[in-house]
Amino acid sequence: MKPVKVGIAGLGTVGSGTVNVLQRNAQEIARRIGRPIEIAHIGARRPNPACSIDGIRVSADVFELARDPELDILVELIGGTTTARELVLTAIEHGKHIVTANKALIAEHGNAIFRAAHERGVDVAFEASVAGGIPILKALGEGLAANHIKWVAGIINGTGNFILTEMRDKGRDFADVLKEAQALGYAEADPTFDVEGIDAAHKLTILASIAFGIPLQFSKVYTEGISRITAEDIKAADYFGYCIKHLGIAKDTGHGVELRVHPTLIPKEVLLASVNGVMNAVMIDGDAVGPTLFYGAGAGAEPTASAVVADVIELGRALTVDHDERVPYLGFHADAMSEMPVLSIDEVECSFYIRLHVQDRTGVLADITRILSDKGISIEAMYQKDVDDNEPVPVVLMTHRIRESAMREALEQIAALDAVLDDIMRIRVETLDA
């Protein structure tokens, strides 16, 4: 059979890794697909010494790939959402299948892209957009397709996980570890997308759509970062038997879907608590299979390229299959997507870790517990550290489950007390019980 002709737009870290994997494993890939895959066209402004592109047509204008009549598949690896969106829609218009590692593109514009692809009868594959080399989207949409998914929880940003791991293991401050992460190349000069949870929110949007059969709704994800976590919080969590992780959580509550990214206390014995450094992991609870854990490298040239090339292989196999007989983009047929609402963060119920500093004054704790009690919030455990006279007293509370809105209102009242100093830290607690 004739080769599957592929164009690769973008020759950065993932693009060069994709070239290397396709070239190195060409024979094995051909055995899997039943025909060879040929890199016929590359879109890049300059070569990358990390890979060899000798004999391959190269264009500085990536839109030449979208219009190239020889290509069967366009692999979009340029990143961003503006040029990438235009490139993908142009390629779809010219009848090309799409593979992308671009989580922001799918999370923010996926609904429109899928509509265009369906009308043109082509496929869009995006396994590499979530958790790098972990084949989590195929597992969720196909391997676990028999299940009603109850919840998904994941460490889906390696930079944040590296920072929290270093803070826990070495007692370092957030700012200090962030500088090291930037020096090592784990964090960008502007780390906002990673440490404030935006990158994880993009990925959670995609996971939730495949898990629950709902449209992509990035704008409805509650997002909170880790920049306010202190070494004091790490130690207090450990005292209570917990570990702090920056999680993306999607839950089907029966009356709506929770979509949230935030620092989370999880019990030390939960498998996710042992995922350290830059590694990623996603935990899924299905009604039939129970809890499952998927672990691996969430970024990097060849781990991500592994997922990109797997999508190329899948589309190569499907070239002779009628479009309507292929696996739907989000695992559910377009006309069967659910209109289940996404709940606001105020409607979420969970336990809370609260850390505050107060003046060493009689009656302060009584005032705090009274406010909590008035809002129906019961305390499960309390930790108060001894300090020198006249020093602010750090107080840490663990509460039972309560609605987010009640906790927010209580903390607003507590913050207004004269004896309460500086900002109050609130971290949600999840046991991740099956």
User: Is 245 part of the annotated catalytic residue set?
Assistant: no
Residue 63 is given by DSSP the state H
Residue 256's Cβ-count burial label (10 Å; 0-12, 13-18, 19+) is middle
Given a contact cutoff of 8 angstroms between Cβ atoms, the answer to whether 218 and 166 are in contact is no
Handedness of CA 284, 326, 115, 66 (dihedral sign): positive
What is the enclosing helix (H) or strand (E) of 176? helix 174-183
**Cα 7 to chain centroid, rounded:** 27
Q: How many helices (H) and strands (E) does the chain have?
A: 14, 17
Q: What pairing do the DSSP bridges indicate for beta strands 124-125 and 97-100? A: parallel
CA quadruple 401, 404, 405, 411: dihedral, nearest 10? 90
Q: Catalytic pick from 96, 103, 150, 203? A: 203
Given a contact cutoff of 8 angstroms between Cβ atoms, the answer to whether 135 and 127 are in contact is yes
- Taking the C-alpha atoms of residue 172 and residue 169, their distance in angstroms, rounded to an integer, is 8
SS3 state of residue 125: strand
- Taking the C-alpha atoms of residue 265 and residue 426, their distance in angstroms, rounded to an integer, is 11
- Taking the C-alpha atoms of residue 291 and residue 283, their distance in angstroms, rounded to an integer, is 7
Catalytic residues: 203
